Amino acid sequence: MTVEVPTVNGADLSASTPRMRAYAMLAFGILCISFSAIFISWAHAPGAVTGFYRMGIATVILAVPFARRLHARGALPRREVSVALLAGAFFAGDLVFWNTGILLSGAANPTLMANTSPIWVALGALLIFHEKLTPMFWGGLCLTLLGALTIFGADLSGDAGLGTFFGLLAGIFYAGYLLVTQRSRRKLDALTFFWLAALSSTILLLLAALLLRQPLTGYSPLTWLNFLALGILTQVMGQLAISFALGALPASLVSPTLLGQPVLTMVWAVLLLGETPTIWHLLGGVVLLIGILVVHRSRL
């Protein structure tokens, strides 16, 4: 099945208000989600529990706006509801595998493997949406991945292990989430899609926490504050903005751009955690940003 995918045309870029708004929302979303790792490190809670409260808080906050939108729009097509719920399942899988991988192998290996998601998105764009991706796009994608490898490479451990494999699965699941989001946003507005996906993620993450026997209560006030920050800043503000952007921009463009998140996270780690980046972290950040620029230039 061929799905029409929006392309970035240089001749009408300045006149395309919806597309410029999508770029602005994408940049805002990346800024918000770049705090995720900071909040997770401060929360000191099991991965499925953190994910459950992150998604659950977002679901509760947006329940009333969603109900109003639903009342104004009327009944939703059952097929589109199913697609949005599937997106939520992919996102839940990403959170469970990434957080569990970090617990098993430390942060570097699983995070690097999770950042392979642009590869799977690009393959999905070719095979599912039949997008035409130029050699310039693939070159830019390679640069972004090289930048990510340089950032995380100094911290990699020699033991691949189950945690690293879980990181790879997280990348595949997040790629699935982005591709399904692109498909769903052709029919559903950002708020409707996001709330349905968040509801699905919340239910699945709760089940995961219960199956893994991870406690849902008994956490410190600081942990609860970080749960709130994850739900409000990274999910309601960040991921909702990215969902909005995917209504006008293809996932193959959005996914490599999201790799800019580690660069911002590195800045917050310096300012908030007192960490000192190495020369490899800085070099990797520069290469990654150049790669993102090349990817965007390839779509002009």
Q: How many domains does the chain contain in total?
A: 1
pLDDT (average), residues 265-277 = 80
Give the model's confidence band at 14: pLDDT under 50 very low, under 70 low, under 90 confident, else very high: very low
Q: Do the domain assignments include residue 11?
A: no
Q: What is the pLDDT of residue 277?
A: 80
Q: Do the domain assignments include residue 3?
A: no
pLDDT (average), residues 253-263 = 88
> Could you tell me if 148 and 288 are in contact, meaning their C-beta atoms sit under 8 angstroms apart?
yes
Q: Do the domain assignments include residue 10?
A: no
Lowest mean pLDDT among 10-19, 168-177, 185-194: 10-19
Q: What is the pLDDT of residue 44?
A: 86
Tell me: the pLDDT tens digits for 31-58?
A: 999 888 888 888 888 889 999 999 999 9
C-alpha distances in Å from residue 174, one per residue of 19, 42, 90, 156, 162? 23, 23, 6, 21, 18
Give the global pTM: 0.85
More confident residue, 210 or 17: 210
What secondary structure does DSSP assign to 21-58, as a single string?
HHHHHHHHHHHHHTTHHHHHHHH---HHHHHHHHHHHH
Q: What percent of the chain has pLDDT over 70?
A: 91
* pLDDT at 262 exceeding the cut of 90: no
Q: Is 272 helix (H, G, I), strand (E, B) or coil?
A: helix
Q: What is the pLDDT of residue 3?
A: 40
Tell me: the pLDDT tens digits for 152-183?
A: 776 665 555 788 888 889 999 999 999 999 99
Q: Do the domain assignments include residue 100?
A: yes
pLDDT (average), residues 180-202 = 95
Q: Do the domain assignments include residue 9?
A: no
> Residue 204's closest CA among 284, 106, 288, 90?
90
Q: Identify the domain containing residue 162 by its residue range.
A: 17-298
Q: Do the domain assignments include residue 47?
A: yes
pLDDT (average), residues 5-32 = 71
Q: Do the domain assignments include residue 6?
A: no
Alpha helices in the chain (DSSP H): 17-33, 36-43, 47-61, 63-73, 78-105, 108-114, 117-127, 135-153, 161-184, 190-211, 221-229, 240-245, 251-258, 261-273, 279-298
Chain mean pLDDT for the chain: 87
pLDDT (average), residues 120-142 = 91
Q: Do the domain assignments include residue 1?
A: no
